[in-house]
Amino acid sequence: MKISSQLLAFFLFASSFAMAQEERPRLLIETNYGNMTIELYNETPQHRDNFLKLANEGFYNGTTFHRVIQDFMIQGGDPNSKNPEATNLGNGGPGYTIEAEIRPELYHKKGALSAARQGDQTNPERRSSGSQFYIVQGKPNNEQMLTQMEMRCNQAMMQDIQRVFFTSEENKEYLERLQTCQTNKDQEGLKTLSEEVQPLLEARMEEKTFSYTHEQKDVYGTLGGTPFLDQQYTVFGEVVEGLEVIDKIAAVEKDGERPKEAVKMKIKVLK
């Protein structure tokens, strides 16, 4: 039985709405610049459960916000940062990564809690760090900037669709033809292949076109954030109390991007 696109959209919306109605876990991030209360999204269950697990184990206690960029974000969660003499900050973790859970309705507004990760060159699937995260500060964005970001997000989504298309077993023939054409520098073959594949890719893209809602635009225009990170990193929670603490940490004196005085944290689960 074939499900219509309208019915599929309804099912996706209903599923998302149901998850959003579940009670969100709350945690407290204590720092020497004040405390922040965060909520974890149920729409990103792998990231939610992993963050809760690490917090309950005391993994984050004594770590620092080791990378701080004003008007951008504050980053922490590296176990190496417990050592004040460490020089390899940004490389530590629990020894695993997490599958990306990037969703269009979860975006990088101020206070967004997002997972850090390695870059696309070495991590095309955008898998998240097992422990490192950042909290968005950002700044207000105008309509023109958000329009540009929508275009960028759609380009990124098309790249993902192409990657998944050519690496799936059912499309193995297309990948082999592409590699042969590239090896032989067969421009005519590439043109023919493109004409065959393009409609298939566009059909998939029609189901995933990205655009900001009116509410998201209003938040970006007033509260602010970093929309250029949308659809690139997994947003899995938000600060619900203590947004001013982000500003205080972002304004500390730094050596490069590292605070001169350690901004230590302790994270505990509230509910």
Cα(233)–Cα(115) distance, integer angstroms? 6
| Residue 128 belongs to some domain of the structure | yes
230 belongs to a structural domain:
yes
As a whole number of angstroms, the longest Cα–Cα distance in the chain is 63
pLDDT in tens, 222-261: 999 999 999 999 999 999 999 999 999 999 999 999 999 9
- Is the same domain home to 36 and 91? yes
Q: Which residues pair with 235 in a beta bridge?
A: 114
Q: 175, 206, 237: which is the final residue of a domain?
A: 206
> Do 57 and 167 reside in the same domain of the chain?
no
pLDDT under 50 in the chain at which residues?
Answer: 1-19
How far apart are the C-alpha atoms of 82 and 256, rounded to whole Å?
19
The domain of 32 spans 16-138+223-269
Q: Where are the beta strands (DSSP E) in the chain?
A: 26-31, 34-40, 65-69, 73-76, 97-98, 112-115, 128-129, 133-136, 235-241, 254-255, 258-259, 265-269
The answer to whether residue 156 sits within a structural domain is yes
pLDDT value of residue 263: 97
Token reading at 109: 């507004």
State how far the Cα of 95 lies from the Cα of 247, in Å rounded to an integer.
31
Same domain, 25 and 120: yes
pTM over 0.85, yes/no: no
* CATH number for the domain harbouring residue 109: 2.40.100.10
- Note the pLDDT of residue 21: 54
Count of domains forming the chain: 2
Read off the pLDDT of residues 187-203 as tens digits, 9 standing for 90 and up. 998 889 888 888 887 77
Are the CB atoms for 39 and 24 separated by under 8 Å? yes
pLDDT in tens, 30-47: 999 999 999 999 999 999
pLDDT for position 49:
98
> Are residue 99 and residue 157 in the same domain, yes or no?
no
Alpha-carbon distance 45 to 182, whole Å? 40
